[in-house]
Amino acid sequence: MEIPGSTVHSADPIPDAFPVEESNRDPNVFLSIGTLIPDDELISEKPFLKDIIITERTSFLDIDKEKHIPSSPTAKKGICFRVGIAFLALALVAAIITLSLFLTRPSTSTNTTKYVYQPKTIVYYWTVSNFIQNLDGVPRFTLGVNGRPSFESVIEVTRGDRIILHLTNNLTVPTAIHFHGLYQRGTPFMDGPSGVTQCPIAPNQTYTYNFTTGDIDGTFFWHGHYKQHYVDGFKGPMIIHDPNDNHVDFDASPSATYSSEAMLLLSDWYHEQSEVLLERYLDGAINPDGIEPIWDSGLINGIGQFECTKNPNVTCVQQEKQAYVQTIGVGETIRLRVCNAASFAAFLFSIDGHSLTVIEVDSVDVIPYTVDSLVINIAQRYSVLVTANQPIGNYLMRAVMYHGDPWTATNIMPVGMNPTVTAILNYNKVLPAKAPITIQPLQNPSILIDTNLVPSEPKQPPPIGANDVTVLFEFEFTTKGNDTYQKAYPSVSTLKDGKWDLHFTNSYTPLMGDFLLNQAWEHGSQWIPEAASNTIFVKTGQVVDIVVRNDDAGEHPMHLHGQSFWVMDMGVANSLASIPRTYPNKNPVRRDVVSITACPYDDNGCLPGNATGFSGWTAPLNGTNVNALPEATGGASNWFGYAVLRFVADNPGIWLFHCHIEWHIAAGLVMNFAVGVPEIQQLSRPGVANQTCSSLNQWSLKTRK
């Protein structure tokens, strides 16, 4: 078995250019479209909204005005930015508006007084289209926003703000977007999943997403939630700032203070279109073993490095930039918001020579916890503090994609596949000739697991009682009987009088559920929620436990929309009865994506392993020396991976619970929680929702002809 670190070393492509000074776009600056107007001036149908100024809005530019100024004399501002000359006039107008808002705020100079933030409304005008982009050296048709790569479209607001996002669809197929990690309290129609909370937006139509952040802040991302648009690049960063962030206040948090920040959006990247890949994956005749499509390379903030020299059949074109560069001042501490926006890959993230202090997980602040690397599965987010305490130089930030059996279900990789994507942590913009990029790959990474994390604001999960709901979600992947297609077979039962009552199994949901399709697309305005597939109905106020049982040989990142859950327990077990049902931890980690471990295994299948606690991530980073695995359930034992997740159903809406591996969504690894149907029906459904369904109807009638 290879040592993971050594594999990483040999596979690393070193970016051969260092383009900070050559660029006309500073790599530290995300570009986004947005403008600020006070919340009390906003009425959604006001005509002046059409006339508001749209300006290039530089991410992180506004941050320092929004939050406490660090009182430590050692704190430094590390962010620089550049605004194109054509936008100077518009930027000036925006600055005056921002400044006038700023000047009306209460003083932030004392640490004893909480800063009272006046929420604003941020308006975005986005148009999605499909055009050729060169993200990793191999140009391909890729979805983008306003003619630029999606990764540059940052939603960046402060807790309490309202977000109005006008999304115009310039594609030839429908689309929709989801704001990952947002609760959408009172606005479940704005959550985004096609066929669950909205009809997808027909070509040439506009949908207006209009919602507030509610009471959460932290690191999020937005992404397409129609078919596999996410795989084709339709995704970007989303940040909600805490107006009273202790971590920027040296006196409040002396051991974990940062003075600048950036987001690192990690992704895997495919050279083929998702439609082609999906067709091949689902076809049981071509792909009887259900092997998921494997990426060609990875991206950090939309920039990757495919190994062109290893694949003569691919035409490569020099990119504008070969790697994302993040500048940091000497001695400075930066908050890096790391998000895995991949379709299939789990990442091991590290920075040569630097430790990572975790302060946030999926929007929940945690007691600082220092590691040398992070395992981050799909749709998970971690904020880490990194201090520039090493000799001045350039250090590689490495994101390595777990690959080989069991991660990728095969050891055969696409030709030229690069499992490592790198970015550069650059001290004070030193040039590479003076300070060469270091190469110090990790040899034995320390692995962060959920049970290491302790929320800094304790929140005890309520007990689950006889009138509450316990759901068992089990799944396996197979082609069964006469099925032609590869399918996930989730089966869902609820616990009644100590017995499992099976609700559905073998369900195949090619899209998501079909709530609104029933409501308005297929059945006019009549709502027939019972007709929706894979759905468990929950009353408002009930406590819900989801027991997830993973009978598959791979890890699965399970995501719940509409709320976070407590991770009550996770591990491996050989019977449902042996899963503990009492939990001593009064403050378990809360998050919205949990990676359900595969069982420890050998050639005969699952092994007992450490049955009393989580033993996840047991497979090596590069599993290529591991023998092919039999199906876990067909092995010598009945061991499986599990997690118990608890939430309070106090947010009426239709909330998806699904695996965030995009191929598995398509295979049907999806269910819905319908929370508080009577309360949902009392919510006023925005007019745009009905319009979108009728436009979709017209479009589909037209295309059927």
Q: Which residues bind Cu ion (CB under 5 A)?
A: 556, 659, 661, 664
CA distances from 88 to 85, 344, 450 (A): 5, 41, 46
Least distance (Å) from Cu ion to the CB of residue 558?
A: 8
DSSP, collapsed to helix, strand or coil, labels residue 383 as strand
| Nearest distance, CB of residue 346 and Cu ion, angstroms | 11
Q: How far is the CB of 681 from Cu ion (least distance, A)?
A: 33
- CA distances for 375 relative to 60, 345, 362, 382, 616, angstroms: 26, 11, 14, 10, 11
Q: Write a three-state SS string for 63-84.
A: HHHHCCCCCCCCCCCCCCCCCC
Please tell me the distance from the alpha carbon of residue 138 to that of residue 527, in angstroms, as a whole number.
47
Q: Which is nearer to Cu ion, 59 or 597 (CB)?
A: 597
Which of 218, 220, 215 shows the shortest CA–CA distance to 160? 215
Distance CA 560, CA 671 (A): 10
Decide whether 472 or 661 has the Cβ nearer to Cu ion.
Answer: 661
Would residue 498 be called left, alpha or beta, if left means φ above 0 and alpha means ψ between -120 and 50 degrees? Answer: left
Chain position whose Cβ is nearest to Cu ion: 659
Residue 67 or 664: the one with the smaller Cβ distance to Cu ion is: 664
Q: Which one, 365 or 551, has the nearer CB to Cu ion? A: 551
Q: How many CA atoms lie within 13 Å of 201's alpha carbon, on the beta-carbon side?
A: 24
Please count the CA atoms within 13 angstroms of the CA of 463 that sit on its side-chain side: 4
- Least distance between Cu ion and beta carbon 555 (Å): 8
Nearest residue (CB) to Cu ion, 448 versus 661 = 661
Per the document, the length of the chain is: 705
| Residue 530 burial (10 A CB sphere; 0-12, 13-18, 19+) | exposed
> Which CB sits closer to Cu ion, 67 or 556?
556
How far apart (Å, rounded) are the C-alpha atoms in residues 355 and 347? 17
**Smallest distance from the beta carbon of 687 to Cu ion, in angstroms?**
36
CB of 557 to Cu ion, least distance (A): 7
- Say how far apart CA 501 and CA 496 lie, in whole Å: 6
Q: By C-beta, is 68 or 556 nearer to Cu ion?
A: 556
How many whole angstroms separate alpha carbon 566 and alpha carbon 339?
A: 20
Between residues 146 and 595, which has the closer beta carbon with respect to Cu ion?
595
Contact 524, 497 (CB under 8 A): no
Q: Give residue 220's identity as a one-letter amino acid code.
A: F
> Residue 445, Cβ neighbours under 10 Å: how many?
21
643 vs 661, beta carbon nearer Cu ion: 661
Quote the CA–CA distance of 61 and 367 in Å, as a whole number: 27
Cβ closest to Cu ion, residue 174 vs residue 641:
641
- The whole-angstrom separation of Cα 618 and Cα 609 is 10
Q: Give me the least distance between CB of 509 and Cu ion, in Å please.
A: 14
Q: Shortest distance, CB of residue 532 to Cu ion, whole angstroms?
A: 21
The enclosing H or E element of 138 equals: none
Report CA-CA distances (Å) from 199 to 129, 214, 262, 509. Answer: 19, 24, 34, 16
CA distance between the termini of the chain: 57
Report how far residue 121's alpha carbon sits from residue 160's, in angstroms, rounded to the nearest whole number: 9
CB of 659 to Cu ion, least distance (A): 3
Least distance from Cu ion to the Cβ atom of residue 173, Å: 24
Compute the least distance from the CB of residue 275 to Cu ion, in Å: 20
Nearest approach in angstroms of CB 661 to Cu ion is 4
Q: Which is nearer to Cu ion, 278 or 325 (CB)?
A: 278
When the beta carbons of 201 and 659 are compared against Cu ion, the nearer one is: 659
What burial class does residue 654 get, using C-beta atoms within 10 Å of its C-beta: 0-12 exposed, 13-18 middle, 19+ buried? buried
CB of 343 to Cu ion, least distance (A): 11
Report, in Å, the least distance between residue 376 CB and Cu ion.
16
Q: Which of 342, 344, 306 is nearest to 322 (CA)?
A: 306
**Least distance in Å: CB of 641 to Cu ion?**
12
d(CA 214, CA 500): 36
**What 3 state SS string does 202-219 have?**
CCCCEEEEEEECCCCCEE
Distance CA 247, CA 76 (A): 14
Pairing mode of beta strands 593-596, 556-560: antiparallel
Give whichever of 142 and 595 is closer to Cu ion, judged by the CB atom: 595
**Which residue number, 559 or 664, has a Cβ lying nearer to Cu ion?**
664
Task: State which residue, 423 or 669, has the beta carbon closest to Cu ion.
Answer: 669
